[in-house]
Amino acid sequence: MDSITHVALGAVVGEALAGKRIGKSALLLGAIAQSLPDIDFVASFWMSFSENLLAHRGFTHSFLFIGLTAVGLAMFTDRWYQKPDMPFRSWLFFFGVQMLIHLLIDGCNAYGTGWFEPFSHERISFHFIFVADPFFSVWISIAAVVLMIARQDHASRMKWTVASLIISTIYLFYAGVNKIIIERDVTRALTTQNIAYSRFLTTPTPLNTWLWFVAVEDDSGFHVAHRSVFDQQEKINFHYFYKNKELLNEVAGHESLQHLIRFSQGYYTVKRKEGKLIFNDLRFGQITGWATPENEFVFHFYLSHPEDNLLVIQRGRFANWNEETVRLLLKRIRGIKTPE
């Protein structure tokens, strides 16, 4: 998730776990602990971009890192804070829960999280909530602000804490249910439309859990589409993108290529445009694809011009957004109705 959500969630969870014992310090310590796995951003200062793709949400997002760091933080705070009602085991539980929540939430996004590093390089990504979803974050963000402002002895503190966590948790389950609905619809459409495939992915479009991006892989490429949970027609109108794997022969020795293939988990296409060889990772969806089905993909890496790859993911995430594309997004979310 985005950094603001982690900070707010850490503060609220901190209040739930230790607010009555250490006061408002629980908000600060919770926010720090919840954000700690993202310390891997410092790797970007000396790693190449493709190396940093795999370093981010790598070891610092593993269960091993959580275990080691939680013990270290618990030992430090137990000695430094010296609160009789917060012994070592309570600090260990506090920091362990905070960072475990960080890992679980990040695993819900498309990026991929290295839970089992360094023993396995498998990246965990459940693809059922966008990296920044206001419908998940707003409740805990409001609660975090209230908790910072309200007096420590205010009777409603726990009510705000519990209510925000329950609402956000329910929304996560709701997003998971929506994913099940979308994958059921996609499977049914592929069968009725006689589309052969080896696998497919579904991931939510920006800022919501109702409109989903779909990429279906076959031997030559991907059938790509958008599907709303409110769509009534069973047919899905796919657009085809060839994988063009053979184009990679030109850059077989490129230092970034193997990193990119591993990072994309095989969901990639290659194309040549204006003299540039472009690697697309489909897992992040298309740039306003609900408005323009043939549009570029959010993640596109210039294999032949590596100097142009700064902010490669962020540059496409909200590109081409304007009043019209937002209006079309809302319209597409409402779904395609069955003709009467």
Predicted pLDDT at 305? 60
Mean pLDDT for the stretch of residues 178-198: 97
- For 78, the token pair is 């137990």
Run of H or E residues at 217: strand 211-217
Domains in the chain: boundaries? 3-174, 193-333
Strand partners, 302: 278
CA distances from 8 to 90, 135, 185, 204 (A): 21, 14, 35, 22
Model confidence at 132: pLDDT above 70: yes
Mean pLDDT for the stretch of residues 157-176: 97
Which is nearest to 61 in space by CA: 130, 129, 1? 1
Which is nearest to 122 in space by CA: 51, 61, 183? 61
pLDDT in tens, 69-115: 999 999 999 998 888 789 999 999 999 999 999 999 999 999 999 99
pLDDT greater at residue 143 or residue 49: 143
pLDDT in tens, 208-228: 999 999 999 999 999 999 999
Predicted pLDDT at 116? 97
Predicted pLDDT at 332? 96
pLDDT in tens, 6-20: 999 999 999 999 999
Which is nearest to 94 in space by CA: 5, 10, 1, 3? 10
Predicted pLDDT at 139? 97
Q: Is 283 exposed, middle or buried (0-12, 13-18, 19+ CB in 10 A)?
A: buried
Neighbouring residues of 280: CB distance < 8 A, sequence distance ≥ 6:
241, 268, 269, 270, 271, 296, 297, 299, 300, 301
Q: Is 306 exposed, middle or buried (0-12, 13-18, 19+ CB in 10 A)?
A: middle
Mean pLDDT for the stretch of residues 22-46: 92
How does residue 314 score in pLDDT terms, banded at 50, 70 and 90?
low
pLDDT in tens, 268-308: 999 998 888 889 999 999 999 999 999 889 998 888 765 55
Predicted pLDDT at 307? 55
